[in-house]
A and B are shown apart, each in its own frame.
Chain A
């Protein structure tokens, strides 16, 4: 029988109808894979240890000193600043590293173990695979960020107490408003990490070596930080993924300087769109020979 028959074949209906469900099962399975993996949990533990270290160090020496980053000096006045200090420190390496590890693993890890071919044979469409992988990475990016800030808040309040928050511009807001700003700052950093995760997902489609993908992502973010610090290439700065990352500090001025945050969100969105598109164009027709 010819191919034309196959499409008009009346017995086609004898096949059990293929019902495709809209279901979150695969996404949930992906989250379990990410969050039950010991390595990833250990990574989160390392992220959580930084605010603890900061708080204990400041407590035992009695002051944050004035030579530290912006938020350090305020820690002794209000515990919330432990969270912000920890975010400031971790945003340059630890948070990007954690995101890079999980994102680098996303596709390359499945290719490396060979599970990629079995997922595709299930079948999982390649677009769905990328979207589910990215969705799980976004969740991880936010969880990682909130692990830092929530641990910081908890240990900070325990060691230094709360109360009214004196903003960087000198004005005071109530504790609730201060806490809200810390949450906003965390959400902003989470978005930044999610944009890096898109870069990681793309790199992860290029290789079967998750470690290689991870290292590339860390090199990418670190190189961006370095370029961002070189004034001679200032024309490049607005396009760098990391350029507006520190803008979460603007949320602690009065009035809030939304400008940097807005631009940061815009750059993050642009990176997400560009790198997801790149990942798709790279992965859509890729030969899976692993």
Chain B
């Protein structure tokens, strides 16, 4: 899709109150996912927080216990036949027939796709194999593939036809550093071509580099969602003012609406919350304070992640 071509309006993915109950457990609990068109959406969350379960529902593999799903403008599962040909997916790791070669496995996937043109199958399969660097082992049986090769083949499988939405569940799992970098640049190039990408990952630094949007899952709840910048601001962005009048500075910060304001020997600091950091300096100067140093510590995604989902090592569920 060229940048000039008219974009489809509406989000690529939208869910309302999406819930999945497994027995007594709510693996996904009333989430309102919103993935805008063209976004690279990082879908984060600790093990067992419900990411894969959500993705399975988006693809119509499991039916929601409650709530609605819309993918590329079509309801799921009702409109799956319209939406899914334009969705490429990697769900919970690669899965192929072990005794078929990588290429034969792709041929099978392509044969199953009624929207794929058989006349161009060979070329499309070659292109996909090349794109993930699997050409040299295309004729090898899948069972002889290494973990990274398997992962790459799954990505190739998702790229056989042009897609408007890529759903990638932990695409870098098992990949070497080169592979990881390639996946990152692949995501970037997909986004550049106009596709929307929904990528779940544990590698937060990874996500931070490529994602325009982030959603954070925790124990079945979507605890944060928005642009990367917005989500980072959900957690404590801390403003620190150094001045010779700490008490006065603390009062100004407090009046501005900063929270957790603390006074130190050299100044005061507080969480900016929704307050624009640049306003803090202006207010201090306005109050007649001699500001010697002003710092804003935006948290990394990892800080946000930990603050939203807790330090604990135990999985949810």
By a beta-carbon cutoff of 8 Å, the part of chain A in contact with chain B is: 1, 3, 5-6, 9, 11-12, 14-16, 18-21, 23, 25-26, 28-29, 33, 37-38, 113-115, 117-125, 285, 287-289
Q: Which of B56, B62, B96, B164 contacts A115 (CB under 8 A)?
A: B96
Give the size category of B's interface with A.
35 or more
B91 contacts A by Cβ under 8 Å: yes
Alpha-carbon distance A288/B61, docked complex (angstroms): 5
Interchain CB contact under 8 A, B89 and A18: no
Interface string of B131-161 (1 = CB under 8 A from A): 0000000000000000000000010010000
Alpha-carbon distance A115/B7, docked complex (angstroms): 33
B5 contacts A by Cβ under 8 Å: yes
Interchain CB contact under 8 A, A26 and B115: no
Interchain CB contact under 8 A, A14 and B61: no
Alpha-carbon distance A287/B65, docked complex (angstroms): 11
Residue of B nearest to A112 (CB): B95
Give the most central of A12, A20, A29, A123: most B CB within 10 Å: A123
Give 5 nearest A-B pairs by CB, closest first. A114-B95, A123-B84, A25-B111, A287-B62, A29-B111
Interchain CB contact under 8 A, A6 and B61: no
Which residues between 1 and 60 of chain B lie within 8 Å of chain A, taking CB atoms? Answer: 5-10, 56, 59-60
Interchain CB contact under 8 A, B10 and A5: yes
Residue of A nearest to B62 (CB): A287
Alpha-carbon distance A285/B115, docked complex (angstroms): 23
Number of A-B contacts (CB under 8 A): 121
B73 contacts A by Cβ under 8 Å: yes
By a beta-carbon cutoff of 8 Å, the part of chain B in contact with chain A is: 5-10, 56, 59-63, 70, 72-75, 80-82, 84-87, 89, 91-100, 107-115, 118, 154, 157, 162, 164
Alpha-carbon distance A172/B170, docked complex (angstroms): 72
CB distance from A105 to the nearest CB of B (A): 11
Residue of A nearest to B121 (CB): A25
Give the most central of B5, B60, B75, B113: most A CB within 10 Å: B113
Q: Beyond A6-B70, A119-B112, A288-B61, is A11–B91 a contact (Cβ under 8 Å)?
A: no
CB distance from A252 to the nearest CB of B (A): 41
Q: Which residues of B contact A288 (CB under 8 A)?
A: 56, 61-62
Interchain CB contact under 8 A, B112 and A117: no
Interchain CB contact under 8 A, B111 and A14: no
Q: Which residues of A contact B63 (CB under 8 A)?
A: 285, 287
Residue of B nearest to A38 (CB): B99
Q: Beyond A121-B87, A123-B81, A288-B62, is A14–B114 a contact (Cβ under 8 Å)?
A: no
Interchain CB contact under 8 A, B5 and A14: yes
Q: Which residues of B contact A123 (CB under 8 A)?
A: 60, 80-81, 84-85
Q: Which residues of A contact B92 (CB under 8 A)?
A: 114, 117
Q: Which residues of B contact A125 (CB under 8 A)?
A: 80-81
